[in-house]
Amino acid sequence: MTPKPPRIDLTHALPPRPITVRPATTVNAYAAGGIFVLLYVVLAVVWTSLVPDLARDWRLRGDTEIARDVGIEEASCRSWLGFLAFCSITVNETRDGAEAKTTFRYAFLGRQNQNEIAPLRGRSEPSLLSTDAGAGRLLNRSLVAVLILAIPLLAVAAVANVARNARKTRAAFAGLSREQLEPIAVEIERSNALPPRRRMWVYLYDDGGKQGRTFIELSSRARPLFLTQDERWALALRGPPGTVPLLLEQTLSAIDLTPEEKAAFLEACRAQLPALGG
């Protein structure tokens, strides 16, 4: 492990002029909007598939009898991961001389023999039908429904948090633009994968004698400009006192340099790497 930040002297590697800083847009508005739409569609499908049958069985709980005039037309139960079952059961009955079909959809923990399913009818409300496969697992199905609904809800919250953090990141670096910038070493504390296809880099820096901590969100393909082989230390640009240093990624896309200036800066970095313990 590197006990202290590597010594670098790259001040003169940057052009002697104010530099415009444009942190990469880490959240594409159209991509984020598409993810939100997709997640809401998943929520709607899960809600309309599982919740109505669950609500009806709670309404009927303990007040059912075998519906001998109702037949099981089709029953299909599939197991997922060996412990989660999804069942689709279609029953038919004759109402006013016409055949009527009703399909129930269940998700629960456990297994179900689809050949051992009996139709049920409400005693107090004979118009309401169910099956013993669903009525006997109310708590089980309720727990599974909550868990299944929680997954897209948590994903929506995660994407919203990512978008909010991206705006905060850009605002934090706003004070660097058009200023004289100094290359410094910052310590990478951790990195976390974020949806969709991005990564958050948390890093530490010297904030006037005390330790500062900030983060930047980059594309999962973007890599910081590391100064050491263990990837503990990376290069950032510091501006006036009170501003947050900007972690640089390898293409230098966040700073307004010409291709020639970028090539010269990267060459100066590479020239110092052996002396930095990398």
DSSP string, 214-275: EEEEEETT--B-BSSTTS-EEEEEE-STTSPPEEPBTT-TTB---HHHHHHHHHHHHHHGGG
Task: Tell me whether residue 162 is in a domain.
Answer: no
Task: Tell me whether residue 199 is in a domain.
Answer: yes
18 and 39 share a domain?
A: no
144 and 232 share a domain?
A: no
134 and 187 share a domain?
A: no
Task: Return the DSSP state at 112.
Answer: -
Task: Tell me whether residue 134 is in a domain.
Answer: yes
**54 pLDDT higher than 80:** yes
| Residue after which a domain boundary falls, among 93, 122, 153 | 153
Task: Tell me whether residue 164 is in a domain.
Answer: no
| Residue after which a domain boundary falls, among 121, 153, 185 | 153
39 and 109 share a domain?
A: yes
112 and 53 share a domain?
A: yes
Share of the chain above pLDDT 70, in %: 90
What are the tokens at 245?
A: 């240093």
115 and 187 share a domain?
A: no
Q: In what order do the strands lie in the sheet with 233-238?
A: 210-219, 198-207, 182-194, 233-238, 246-247
Task: Tell me whether residue 1 is in a domain.
Answer: no
| pLDDT tens digits for range 122-168 | 998 888 899 988 888 889 999 998 988 888 888 778 777 767 776 77
121 and 218 share a domain?
A: no
Task: Tell me whether residue 250 is in a domain.
Answer: yes
- The pLDDT assigned to 100 comes to 86
Domain residue limits at 129: 34-153
Q: Domains in the chain: how many in total?
A: 2
Mean pLDDT (the chain) is 82
What are the tokens at 99?
A: 């055949």
Cα distance between residue 185 and residue 203, in whole Å: 10
Q: In what order do the strands lie in the sheet with 98-109?
A: 71-80, 84-95, 98-109
| pLDDT tens digits for range 100-125 | 888 999 988 887 776 778 899 999 88
58 and 125 share a domain?
A: yes
Q: Give this prediction's pTM.
A: 0.55
242 and 265 share a domain?
A: yes
3-state secondary structure of 92: strand
Task: Tell me whether residue 165 is in a domain.
Answer: no
130 and 183 share a domain?
A: no
183 and 259 share a domain?
A: yes
Task: Tell me whether residue 159 is in a domain.
Answer: no
Q: Do 216 and 188 form a contact (C-beta atoms < 8 A)?
A: no
